[in-house]
Structure formats: structure tokens, C-alpha cells
Structure 1
């Protein structure tokens, strides 16, 4: 998005730049580095230079009549509706990622009520393919900031909003929840202003109240039509009734006993219980359960077997009474199996502890740390147990899915809190058994149902309001990683891609949307009544607010083979790729082949630890040294897009009412896809070129030196222009 700059009449603007080295040296005004002639404010320090450097910039404004005048050019970030600048400071240096604080770029650092934004006049090459419309490349949402460190003589000191910042403030590291690291230098800034800016960042990145989040100030895009205008929220009776009808469960009903949340605060006002029990039974049995969370229906089949979630029971002797109540919704002779997730799956604390170690592997402090851990990379991954926890969740999921598919059993998944691992396992079971949840729209309905409506504590687990460290845990990321693992084993069974999953994790940390801001629907309802009046907050499922149609192509899996339950006709899930020549988004779901029973639809994955892989796109995309230029799986994905384009174009020809044409004289749209080398005479990547790396469609935080990247000897540096499927055929 373009920068907003202060107008200076018809003046012609030119730039001069001075650089200095060594944070601890006395600033005597002498130059310690040379200005890069090709890039006015871009600096590079050779190995003979001092360890650190920073920069300041002077902007010279030349008048049209030949005179000159020194004037500061005021830079501002691109602001969203409702966004305001809180604090802004010039002459800030942003160091390149993994450059050991030796190269960087000068600009202004601004903190708004939504983001931290670094603005520069430099027009350096951007290799980022997937662009978020809400954030520029050097922007980070305040809710995405995980921790802030003051760097003193190479040592880091973690800062909090309640601390007094002491000593000279020369360098700061911003660690983000998506594993990015930003390093800024304030050497040529006023110490008072620097501390004010840092205190502003600390305060606004960890507000004490939910109404201070930007979602309550974000007043734009109110006229934008939702991508899914009929999306289910599972907070109303109609949503649950529609899902019951879709699944064919006739012995269950929607219960409204929790109206005004008078039974349980963490459950929605409407949820599903056996049709044979009365409201007074729910009122009497709910106090026996932890958090008063009465067992709730999640999913089922027309055969009568169901999946039920429940929390722990205080009096274990009375647990049988609750189980007998659930059995009233299960036809005989179907059996009821109970799976205790507290025994089978990792705890919330174990997940968080493992993820902190995973961050240490995927967020090296500098290039030296990266190369040092390279030799022990595999053993380090093994020691943190992240793969073991993924394997344990998937193994439990497969056992439950097989029990429901093969034995036609009904299953209760029990967890003491009933709001964390039960969300993970319940969602994964439905993905393995129901093809609808493998579509993008179905997956979003699944997340809305199992996580948002049924009360996963997003606010606590993601640390959005500065909660205690003991409450934080990336349970939702563990779930997305599990889905990614399944996607690797069944690449043609999902409508969406890993890029969609990665963007969903990123969206969790954007404070424009209310979907992942609350611990339960009661908190959301209270916030609406107090702070929103008649205005609704934005939904995270409105992807058009974040991405263009061209970018959303990367959400679509070209290998997807559409399957659906026989006898059910509902609108095809919205997806960009379906909006092409075939217009398949208006056609009902159809079976690719007839399924004999539910067991044939089961994805029988291999949950063993040896089959777990590191989700590189999500965890390693910001590390330049970890990228493979011109290689790895993204090229396979791009080639699949080409083949998919050809299939769509050929099918359009076959369905065309026009007279048959000689295909030898025509070419399909995908022939327009360009794959051409972009290398210079020395074998390096040309300047100003967009290239494919193993992080495609992302690129590490720039600018960077492509010459230091890993390379595959047989690979070329590709410039890829994928033609959309709605392009007309060429003659």
C-alpha cells in the first residue's frame, strides 16, 4: 500500500544519507561507513567494520527555482478506518534479518492503536508474493507482539509495561507470535522520545481490557459483503438444527436451557442434547460437571452413532448418571466408548513448554546461532517432543474415528476443562470422517463450531490481554499443525492448502476481527452490548478484507478431489478457484464415487512419530538462511496449478455449445504461465526480481542478500506468473 507523505508543494525531493558504526563509540560526527551509491539509505558494512551500526538521514528539498531548503519529510503509515498514530519517531534503523546487526535501512517507526509500522523512503525490492491488505511488509499488528527486549552490549533484557526502562536505549528486539523478529536501533534518536515510544508499544501491545483492542475502533468496510453471507456461527438454534439435519441425527435436539448463560458461561446459549431429556435434567446435572459444562453433541451420523464432548465430573460416582443420560440419544445396540484425553493427550502446559523450545529452534538470534544449531537440528526437534504431541493427538483421533466408522460406536471425549484438547480431537475426528470439513467453507464452519462457539479460551491461550504465562498455550496452532500433517498424507483430499492454514494462524493475531478475541460467546455478547451498540465487529472469515482474489488462489488445492455424503445437496463452498470457467460454485456437491459406508470415507492416516514433519512454511518462512531458492515443494504446487488450469480450460471447451474446434490451432490458458530464469552472469539472482523459494508464497523479511541462500544445483531462479482460471482462451 502506498505511503502517506506530507505534501511539499512542487518541490523536487532528493536524499542524502550518513552512516555510523559501533553503538558504544563516541559520536564525533565523522563518517564510519560509505553511502551506497545505488541506494541512498541502504547500508552495508564489510567484515572489517565495527560490530554494530546505525544510521540517521537528512532529506534535502530542492526548490523548483534552483534554491534549496532543509526540511524534514514527515512519514506516516497507511492508516485503516479508525486507526490513529499514537507515537512516531524518525531516524530509526531497522536491521536486516539474520544480518548480525551489520546491514539495515533507515526510516520512521510509528506506533498506532493497531500496529507497529516502519516506514522508509527506500524502494527496495520486495519478494513478498502474498500481501495482506491490512498490513504492509514492515508492519506488525500489536496483538502479534509476543515480547520486547532491550539489547545492551549484546545481552537481551525482557521488558514489560510495568517496568522502568533504564540505561541507554540503543537497540530493541520485537519478537512476534508468528516467529518474526524485528531489530531496531535508536542511537540517533532522543533517549526520552525512544523510551516514550517503547512504553507506548508495551502498553498498546498488552492492553488490560478487551475494548482497548483495535477491533472496537475498526469502523471500516461496513458495506463489504461477507465472503460467506450464510456462515454458521453456532450461537443460534437455526445453526445447530441445520447441522443436525445435515448429519441425519434425529434423536438429538437443540437445548435452550442456557439462555442468558444461566447454566454455563463458557457454552453458547443453544447447544445439542439428547431429545429424550428435559430441560430440568440439564439444570440438575450441569453442576456435577467442571465449569457446569453439560455434555454437548458435536457430530453424528444417520446410523445413530455420535461424538459428544464433556468436561470432568466432580463426583466420579455420579458420572454413570450423566452417561446414562447421554445414552438416551443413542439407539440400541450401539455401544458408548469413553476416551479420557487427560490420559491420552499432552496437557496445555506441556504443549506450551514444547512450543517455547520450538521457538528457540525456529527463531535463531543471529546467523551464528543458526549455523551452530544446524548440526544438532534433528536431535533438537526430537528433544522438544513437539512431534510426539502431534503423534499422540493424531493417534487418539484415529482410534476414535475407527471406532465410530468400523464399529459404529458412539464416543464421548472427556477432558477436565473440556475446552482445549477436546476441541483438537473432536475437530480432527470430524475431518477424518466427514469430507465436508475438508472443504474451506466446511473447515471454517468446523472451527466456528468446535472452537469459537463451544468456548476455547483464545484470549487466555494466545495471551491477548497480558494474561499470566501459565495460561498461555498454542493449542490452536497444535490443531492446525495436525491438520497440516494429515494434508501431507492425503494431498488430494482437502480443498484448501497449507497457505490457507498459515494465513489462518496469522489472522488469529490480527486485532481487526472478533472471531478469536474472546474466551467464550458470553464475553463476546457482553462486549457487544457495552461497546459496540448496533455495530457488529468484523469476522475473520471475510478473507476479501485481507487478500485480493489473485492472492486467494494460493488457498486453493489444485489436487482436490471433491467428495461428499450421498443424498445431501447444498451449495458448493465458496472458493476463488471455483469462480472460473466451470462456475462450479453454483453447482451442488456431488459424489466422485459412491461410498458404501462411513468407513470408506475415513482417512486412515499413519500417526507414528516417524511420519511427522516440520511445518516449514509456518515455522521457517522468516529465516533467509533456511530457504531453498528455486526448489522444494512450492514448485510442485505451481506445476499442479498449471495442470489444473489446463483441465478447467479443456472442460470448458468440451462443454461449449459452439462447434468443435481444432485443438492444434488453440492453446489453453495455462500456456500463458511464465517460467523464466532471472539470474545474472555470476549465477546470482538479479535485482528487482521476484523468485520462488521454499517459503513461497511468502518471503523472509527483507531486504536481504540472496547470494547467501541455500541453492539446489539443478534449480533455476524462476519468475512465475500464474494465469487465473477465468482468463479467456487465446486463439
Structure 2
């Protein structure tokens, strides 16, 4: 392959230095008339483009690819092919915002400069002399793109290369995120749902959820204008004994926020930790008062857990995931087959699956405290908005079937993550800041844990695996207000301050739950699990009659925690309560990442296993051995070498979807014809068997459906590197070799 790297070095000065604000760019002066452009969204501005760019395919043939135009806008890096797309390759799961050859700027993870067989990580800045002839882009959704600039004009190649580096890697202010330009010029219709997703931005939502779970706590509305604290949500729920003066003492830090109430009366709370010093008597007395208020919620008992001591740090999570994702960012087929030689040991060494196991195990321990021991649980960490969100959300998913429905799951994320103040903007580095200490895929860790539950108890969840995968991708689309801010205060102030026309009020950025912004109705059908076992209505009364309230009181905590005869118990026994609260910690069950659950937790799990499985009751994940798996759809969907053509779970789901369509069509016929449909001799054709379904059948499905389709020009043969093959042959007859660990692993 010819290279233009040397040609770029002869230029005395680059034609491109840096970009200014998008408003000062004149797109018509940059774009050639012969170059193709993508269909631009409202507010999308083209910064630069280059024609005759070669996009490589992901195989072992370096010259294989398609030519087209590479474009950089304020929303994405787009490649528009010169070829006319084949009819059979039409994508049935098309995203309205970007195509399969588009990369949202927030989705760019790393950019490498390639020259021959070498590549170098690029960190930003302006390339003054040389620029590599090949650009390799690794995306956060694990796609890999390789573009060759060899055949471009030198000036266009420099401009597009430096433009991509600048807009994808350089820091930017919040107002330059595409959502502000897009939402200012786009009118979003009101979301239509049969059941509303509660946003938890109003007092009514909190009151409704507390009433549904029979919570006996106090709704706080004094922070509606963030007068109490900017760290707290506008509306939240706290134990009844907490006063308004307690909320303002440490600006919301150390305040126990209600998450969920068990039907027995105990509840789950979370809080941010206070940096307690031995001489800080005010902070210590404040925390003791908060613990007393939580304990007073039910049976005067509480267990505390500092997740900062028992779960990995944010830096550990980020480091582990960085190692883990490298096994799925495949540049070509040869790299895949090299990594396949030691696949399982490599995955195990990065520790990502073990972190998932730890979070699930911690949630099971919280469930045990609530269900078996009937104690209040207070989980805490330094900020109270990362691992607290993970554990509290998982515990509620395991115990409350409402949160396993589509709208319930979305409401859970709104309550625990959005209202809980998770820093989406910082954790995913949406502004491309150089300081990456706060970057950590905590929300992805939560979705990973949910996927594990979905795999083990599929009929218990209304959401599908495809829904979780699309949700993980949507985090990196800079359009939705859901993932653009660090707190409710940040969201409210940001949308108001950045509005160009303040008299119209704040910008109306859609929530990610408005799926019509991305997909049509037919594509959204794939978000629903076709195997979901919907609960019959008549079971509601049965469930109420089977609540073993009196039986559970037989396993209550020790008599020291029972309701005292005197109302002044906490005042008189403050010292003894403080001692008991300090020793009653969940953390004794997990002292190290390799530790096993305690005998108590094991007995609790085994007792639950002996009961008949109820998909609308309590669910506890199995964490032994191979039960914790790799999220195959998300991580392997772009690697065609591992796809199962015509097989996998997609074949089952696809058949069930077709049967559901046929049943629904028959039901519509019954409703419209009043049971006179029997007079029609011709069998009604199901809606799922119309044009779209015919197109689905005409294209050979693979296990990665609906994200990728079969490509006839793909190569599937293993490409074993020459060096590895020579090492195998030089060692003599393979049949005479002694087995070793590496050989056994490669065979497996």
C-alpha cells in the first residue's frame, strides 16, 4: 500500500491549525461538490470532509475495502460509501440518528495512527509535519473503523485527519455538545405510553412509589429550588425523624436517602460518607443521629455497609474494564485468532467478571438483611452516587417484580441514578477532559449485572437483551439529557443557562426513554422479551394472603433491637445503640475479592432455591463458576468470526416474535369482525409476515441480529500468524508433544 506520510512531511506548514466555534465555520467553502454527505440532523454542521477515502474491511486482506467520503460534523464522524447498498443488506434495526458507518463524537474511545503494520495512540494536538496515512478509530460501543487517506488530496487528508483529532480528543465546553444545537431546532412530541415512566422529578412520583411499597418515611419538598443543597435532588424521601436542620448541616452529605421499603416494614437507604475525624465531634454526633433515625424506621435495627471498603474503587473498575474491552476491539481477523488462543485465561486475568460477581453478591447480602433478618440497611460510599446506585438498584430488581418491567426498569434508573446524582458526564468523559481520574463505567457495570440476571431468569424480565444493549449504546449519543449531566441541579441549570432564547424557558432535550427518537415502532418491538411471563391479575390477592408477616417475626434480630416500652429509648440508650450499630456490619461477609459468601448467606440462598421458582417473586442469582458469563450480544456483535449463522437465541426469539404477530393479528380479526372471521376461507396474514418480515427472512440471520447482518464478502477461515505456526511446526510432531497448560487452553 502506498503511503502519503512522506508527502505530508514536505509541506512547509499545515493548512489546518485548529477550529473555532461551529457558528464560524462556512460548510460550503470546505465541501467539494463531488463529495457525498450524510443526511444531516437539525443543528448538525459539517466541519470538514475528504473524498476518495478507503474504509477497510475487518479481514486479513489489507487492500480490501470500499471507497467513499469521510465527513466530520459537530455530531459525528461519518463515512458515506460510493457504492449503492444492496437490497438484501438493508438494516432492519436502523437508528434514526446515525448509521452503521457513523460514529458519534462522544462514542469515540481511542484514535490510532497507522503506518504499515504499526499503530500509535494519538492523544490530541495539531500534527505539524507528518500525519499517518491510516486512521484507526476504536469506539465505546466496541466497533472498529479503519480509514486510509492514501488516495485523498494531501490538503483534504490533512484537514480531515486534524479535524477528527480535534473534535474527538480535545476538551470542549458543555455548550458545544451537539444536544444543545439539536434540541434548539427540533420539536419533540410528547411520549405516548400505556404506562408512564416515572421521572422522579416531582413530589407525586416519590409519593406514588412510597405508597406502592408501603414506605413509612417523610417526603422532602423543601429542595424544589435547590435551597437546601445542590447535591440533593429536588424531591426525595428520608426517615421520619430527620429534621430540616439536619439536611442543611453538611450540604446533604451523610443524609440517608430512602430507596425502597420491604413489605415487612424495614427499608433500604443510601448515603454519602462524611470524612469523620476523631476530633470532629459534630460530624460524629450527626452520623449517630442519622443512624438512629434509620434504625427508628422499623424495629430499631439497622445494618450499615461502607461499599468503599468492600467493593473495588472507581479506578479499579476503569482499569479492569480497559483490559477487558481490548479482547473485543479487533482490528482484523488475524488479531482475533491470536487472542482466541488464550481467550478464557485472558478474560479471567482482567478481573471484570469478578467485579460483576462481587456487586451481585453484595446485593444478595442486602436482600438477606431485608428479607431474612428484617433489618434496615444503610449503604454508603464517599459520594453515595456510584456503587450505592449499583447495589441498591440490583437489590430492588431482585426483590420487586415491578422494576423488571420496561417502564419499571426505566423508573428505577430515574430514581436511583438520575435523582441519585450519578455523574454521567464525568464518568463517561463526555467533554473529553484530559483528567481521567473520575472516568469509570459504573452504569455499564450495573447493566452487566442486570444482563446476568436476565440470562438466568429470562421469563422474569419484560425487557430483552437487545434493550440492554441499545441502552448501553445510547449513553454515548450526545442528544439525550439523561446522560449529559452530573446531577439534577446540573441538569436544570445547564439546560436553562445554555438556552439561546431564555424567554422560551429551558431547552427541551428528550429523555433516552423516548425511543421513537432513535427507532420506529417495529424496531422497538425487539425491546420486549417475548418469553416474559406476565403475572395474571388474579394472583394479586393470592400474593397478599401469602405474605408471611408473622412467620418472619420469628427470625427477628436480638431482643436488644425490639421495640422498647419507653418512647425515650434512643435518648437513654444512645451509647449502647451506637456500639451495636457499629458491630452490625454487612462487610464482615466479604473481606476480599476472592472471599466466599458466609455460611449464613449460603443457607439463605439454598433455602430460597428449595422453594418453587416464582418469576414474580424474589430472584437470587447463581454466582458459582460459569454462571457469570460474557455479555455476548454487546461484546461479540461486531466480530463476524464468532457469529452463529442461522442459529443462536435469535432464532428462538425471531420465531416467537412471528407467532406473537400472528396471534395479535388473529385477535384484531376477531375484534373487528365479531367472530365472523370463520367465514373467510383464506387464512389472515400476520402483520409480522409483511414486507419487513419478508425482508428479515430473505436475509440470513446470525446470532448478532439485529445489529449486524450476514455479509457475503466476509471471510471466516482462521488466520494463524506465521510466527505461531512456525513455532508449532519446529517443535516436531504434534502428536509426540507433551500437553501443557497453554496447549490445553488453545484446544479448548
TM over 0.5: yes
Say which of 69, 92, 109 aligns to 2:53: 92
2:738 counterpart residue number: none
User: Cα distance 1:121–1:688, how it changes in 2: closer, same or farther (>3 A)?
Assistant: farther
Q: Which moved more, 1:597-606 or 1:387-396?
A: 597-606
User: Cα distance 1:429–1:85, how it changes in 2: closer, same or farther (>3 A)?
Assistant: same
User: Cα distance 1:341–1:25, how it changes in 2: closer, same or farther (>3 A)?
Assistant: closer
Other structure's SS at 2:189 match: coil
Say which of 237, 247, 254 aligns to 1:282: 247
| Structure-2 separation of matches of 1:491 and 1:658 | 36
Aligned-pair distance for 1:227?
A: 3.7
2:256 counterpart residue number: 295
2:157 counterpart residue number: 194
- 1:470 matched to 2:437? The reply is yes
Other structure's SS at 1:137 match: coil
Say which of 260, 281, 289 aligns to 1:321: 289
Alignment of 1:411-560 (within 5 A): 411-467=377-433, 468-532=435-499, 533=502, 534=505, 535-560=507-532
| Structure-2 separation of matches of 1:348 and 1:491 | 30
1:16 counterpart residue number: none
Other structure's SS at 1:97 match: coil
- 1:376 matched to 2:339? The reply is no
Alignment of 1:40-439 (within 5 A): 73-125=34-86, 126=89, 128-164=91-127, 166-206=129-169, 207-218=171-182, 219-228=184-193, 230-249=196-215, 251-284=216-249, 286=250, 292-315=253-276, 317-318=284-285, 319-328=287-296, 330-332=297-299, 335-439=301-405
User: Cα distance 1:25–1:310, how it changes in 2: closer, same or farther (>3 A)?
Assistant: closer
Other structure's SS at 2:373 match: coil
Aligned-pair distance for 1:170?
A: 0.7
User: Cα distance 1:591–1:364, how it changes in 2: closer, same or farther (>3 A)?
Assistant: farther
| Structure-1 separation of matches of 2:485 and 2:696 | 45
Other structure's SS at 2:316 match: helix
Other structure's SS at 2:482 match: coil
| Structure-1 separation of matches of 2:546 and 2:672 | 34
Bigger share in strand: 1
2:644 counterpart residue number: 628
Other structure's SS at 1:90 match: strand
- 1:638 matched to 2:654? The reply is yes
| Structure-2 separation of matches of 1:641 and 1:75 | 38
Other structure's SS at 1:261 match: coil
**Preserved CA contact (<8 Å) 2:197 2:408:** no
2:728 counterpart residue number: none
User: Cα distance 1:676–1:173, how it changes in 2: closer, same or farther (>3 A)?
Assistant: closer
Aligned-pair distance for 1:313?
A: 2.6
**Preserved CA contact (<8 Å) 1:115 1:141:** yes
Aligned-pair distance for 1:179?
A: 0.6
Aligned-pair distance for 1:658?
A: 3.1
TM-score relative to the length of structure 1: 0.77
1:602 counterpart residue number: 618
**Preserved CA contact (<8 Å) 1:424 1:479:** yes
Say which of 702, 705, 714 aligns to 1:696: 705
Aligned-pair distance for 1:135?
A: 0.7
TM-score relative to the length of structure 2: 0.75
User: Cα distance 1:238–1:662, how it changes in 2: closer, same or farther (>3 A)?
Assistant: closer
**1:548-577 deviation digits (Å, cap 9, x = unpaired):** 11111111111111239999xxxxxxxxxx
Other structure's SS at 1:161 match: coil
**Preserved CA contact (<8 Å) 1:566 1:594:** no
| Structure-1 separation of matches of 2:73 and 2:4 | 31
**Preserved CA contact (<8 Å) 2:253 2:271:** no
**Preserved CA contact (<8 Å) 1:561 1:592:** no
**Preserved CA contact (<8 Å) 2:76 2:104:** yes
- Segments of 5+ residues of structure 1 without an aligned counterpart are 1-20, 28-70, 568-589, 679-685, 711-731
Aligned-pair distance for 1:704?
A: 6.2
Q: Which moved more, 1:109-118 or 1:259-268?
A: 259-268
| Structure-1 separation of matches of 2:96 and 2:410 | 21
Please report the RMSD computed on the Cα atoms of aligned residues, expressed in angstroms. Answer: 3.3
- 1:705 matched to 2:721? The reply is no
Aligned-pair distance for 1:161?
A: 3.0
User: Cα distance 1:709–1:253, how it changes in 2: closer, same or farther (>3 A)?
Assistant: farther
| Structure-2 separation of matches of 1:324 and 1:25 | 69
- Segments of 5+ residues of structure 2 without an aligned counterpart are 8-31, 278-283, 549-607, 609-613, 719-748
**1:599-648 deviation digits (Å, cap 9, x = unpaired):** 96111221234201111110111112121111111112112223434554
Q: Which moved more, 1:268-277 or 1:422-431?
A: 268-277
Other structure's SS at 1:629 match: coil
| Structure-2 separation of matches of 1:666 and 1:594 | 47
1:18 counterpart residue number: none
| Structure-1 separation of matches of 2:629 and 2:541 | 31
User: Cα distance 1:709–1:225, how it changes in 2: closer, same or farther (>3 A)?
Assistant: farther
